[in-house]
Amino acid sequence: MTGPEQQWREALSEGRLVFQRSRASGTVFFPPRITEPGTGDGDWEWVEAPSPATVYSVTVIPSRAGRATAVALVDFDGGGRMMGNVVGIDAESVAIGMRVDVFVDRTGDAPRVQFDATRAAR
Which pLDDT belongs to residue 50? Answer: 85
pTM attached to this predicted model: 0.86
Q: What are the pLDDT digits (tens) for 84-97? A: 999 999 999 999 99
88 found inside a domain? yes
Closest CA to 86 of 53, 47, 122: 53
Rounded Cα gap, residues 78 and 29, in angstroms: 10
Q: Is it the case that residue 109 has pLDDT exceeding 60?
A: yes
Rounded Cα gap, residues 87 and 77, in angstroms: 20
Rounded Cα gap, residues 106 and 23, in angstroms: 30
122 found inside a domain? no
Q: What are the pLDDT digits (tens) for 21-68? A: 999 999 999 999 999 999 999 999 999 998 899 999 999 999 888 889
Q: 72 and 105: one domain? A: yes
Q: 27 and 71: one domain? A: no
Q: 58 and 90: one domain? A: yes
